[in-house]
Amino acid sequence: MAEEIEKSMPAEQSLMDKISEKIHHHDSSSDSEYEKPDSPSAVKAKIYRLFGREKPVHKVLGGGKPADVFLWRDKKLSAAVLGVATAIWVLFELVEYHLLSLLCHVWILALGGLFLWSNAHTFIKKSPPQIPEIHVPEEPFLLIASSLRNELNQGFVILRSIALGRDLKKFLMVVVGLWIISVVGNWCNFLTQVYICFVLLHTVPMIYEKHEDKVDPFAEKAFKELHKHYLVFDEKVVSKIPIASLKAKLG
C-alpha cells in the first residue's frame, strides 16, 4: 500500500507542476501583452504636426535649393536673396521707380558698356568681351507650365464644387479668405503684399523648424478650440439653412 502511494505521488506532483507551469506561462504572456510599451513608430505617429504634415519642413517646401534658401541653410545666399527683394521693394515702392523705366535703363547701360568695350578693346589693349550664346531650354518651361496647369485645374474643380453648393464649409472658408485679402488689399498695394509674403516665407518656416516641438502642441489646442466653435456654429446656423430645398429648386 505504501509503495502504491509512493508511486502515485510523483505522478501527481508532475501533473501539478505542469498545471502551475501553464498558469505561469499564461499570466506572463498576458502581462507582457498589457505591459508591452508602444513602439517608437507608434509613438511618433501619435505626435500632432501642424496641418497634419507627415514630411519634414524641408520636404514640404519642395526640397532642393529653394527650400535651403527659405530655411536659411545657406545664410549668405538667403541674405542675398532677401536683400535683393528688399532693394526692389524700396526702389519701386519708396523711390517710386517704374519697372519699365528700370528695365530700359539697365539694358541701355549693359548694351552701351558692351558695345564700347567691343569697339575700343584694340585701343585699350584688352581682349574683347566674351559674350556667350544664350539658349533658353524648353523642358523647364514645360514642367512649370504642366504643374501650373494641374494646380489651376484643381482650383477650378474646387471652385465649381463650391459654386454648385456641394460643400458649405469650403464656401464659407473661401468667402472669409477673400474678405481677408480684400481688407489687406486696402491697407497696401500689390507690390507690398508680395514683399510681405516673401519676407514671411524667409522667416516663418525657419522659425517654425527651430521651435516645431513647442509650436505643434499649441497649434493642436488652437485647432481643437476652432473645431469646437465650428461645431457650435454648424449646429446653430449652418444646419438650419435649407440646402436640400435650395438644391431641389435649382435642380
Say whether 232 sits in a helix, a strand or coil. helix
Give residue-wise pLDDT tens across range 127-184.
777 888 888 788 888 888 888 898 899 888 888 888 887 777 788 888 888 898 888 8
pLDDT, position 53? 66
| Those residues with Cβ within 8 angstroms of residue 89's Cβ, 6 or more apart along the chain or in another chain | 191, 192, 195
Contact 184, 193 (CB under 8 A): yes
pLDDT, position 86? 93
Domain positions in the chain: 57-123+139-248
Amino acid at 80: A
| Those residues with Cβ within 8 angstroms of residue 54's Cβ, 6 or more apart along the chain or in another chain | none
Set of cell numbers at residue 139 = 523642358
Q: How far apart are CA 169 and CA 160, in angstroms?
A: 14
Neighbours of 195 (CB within 10 A): 19
pLDDT, position 158? 84
- The single residue listed with the C-alpha cell 519676407 is 199
Give residue-wise pLDDT tens across range 15-49.
456 555 554 544 444 444 444 444 444 444 456 66
Contact 191, 98 (CB under 8 A): no
Q: How far apart are CA 80 and CA 68, in angstroms?
A: 13
